[in-house]
Amino acid sequence: MDKFSDIAGLSEERRYAINALAKAEIVKGIGGGLYGTDGDVSRVDMPLYVYRALHWVKLARDEAEDSTVFVMTFRPDNAMGGGSGWRRAPRVIITNRHVVETMYQDAETGQIKTRLNDYLVLAKGGWVRSNRGNPNPEPQLAVGVSNYPNALIDIAALVVPEELWVKYLDSREAAGLSREPRYMNPHIGRDVEPSDLVVNCGSPLMDDYTVTSGTVTRGERPKYAYGDAEYFTTDAGINPGNSGGLCMTFERDFAGMPTLKPFYRSPFGGYYVPADDMGYVLHRRALVGWEQNMAWWFAAAGITL
């Protein structure tokens, strides 16, 4: 649907560009629902457009910050790590499965198994903590993890019990925040293409509420480790801790979930080195498909996405 009523006669390419700029709040029209196709861009307008375009990353950060959470994990081997997540719906936080699980080898059978970590989630308004291994008998928020064995994609859902979610909302109000945080919906977005501008929002290197910007470098790539789900690649930075965060387009649409940074084996010592300027983002279509596969699980938990 066009943002302005007077652009219907323009080419599809021009209408797309105008609508994208309007959604990104770079252009706002001349009022009355009109873009002003017959007018000229004044000297006053042009610096304003340039300023807004240069600050689109800030607009995206403002859009996503309240949705993004910082996940600090405590693994069974006493190691500590960091990840990210985002609010999908009331009581639901989405992250990567590898953020909340640790793989280990069973000492008796030699089988590779997974074990849920203990973790803290730092969100706007307070801390959320699981009660697995938590010495505090009254955690601020208890969180459940989806562990459906047929969900082969690297996605997990942290679900907050209703009564504890209400306490969390109370803590947001007490902190002067809006009672309800902002939610993101992978069904509302668009598929990206090479050269599209994107931002990754998360907690790289445990620095919460951080964004990195760049372009999509490859539109589709099969997920090489977890089955048939799709990645796209981007040169927007993905560092340890960004896993499970948000990827958004220039227009601030949901694009996917930053998941991992590829490594290559060094020819000088056999160790693995992270690839520069390249990261894998789990495509929003993968998240939509995962939700459809898990619909029964959310229904059993009394959750409507």
The region, left, alpha or beta by phi > 0 then psi within -120 to 50, assigned to residue 186 is alpha
CATH of 68-183, one of 2.40.10.10, 3.60.15.10, 1.10.3720.10, 3.30.70.60: 2.40.10.10
**What is the residue extent of each domain of the chain?**
12-54, 68-183, 197-291
Dihedral over alpha carbons 77, 200, 284, 158 (to 10 degrees): 40
Does the domain made of 197-291 have the CATH classification 2.40.10.10? yes
pTM: 0.80
In sequence order, the β-bridge partners of residue 80 are 74
pLDDT at 84: 92
What residues of the chain score a pLDDT lower than 70?
76, 131-152, 220-229, 264-275
Instruction: Report whether 90 contacts 54 (CB < 8 A).
Output: no
- List, in sequence order, every beta strand (DSSP E) within 49-186: 68-74, 80-89, 92-95, 101-105, 112-116, 118-123, 126-129, 144-145, 156-159
Instruction: Reduce the DSSP state of residue 14 to 3 states and report it.
Output: helix
How far is Cα of residue 12 from the mean position of the Cα atoms in its chain? 30
Instruction: Report whether 284 contacts 256 (CB < 8 A).
Output: yes
Q: Read off the tokens for 182.
A: 């902002």
Q: Where are the alpha helices (DSSP H) in the chain?
A: 12-23, 45-54, 56-64, 97-100, 162-174, 284-293, 295-300
Write out pLDDT tens, residues 226-276. 445 688 889 888 877 788 999 998 888 899 999 887 776 666 666 666 667
pLDDT at 266: 66
pLDDT at 175: 92
pLDDT at 224: 47
Rg of the chain, C-alpha, whole Å: 21
Instruction: Reduce the DSSP state of residue 219 to 3 states and report it.
Output: strand
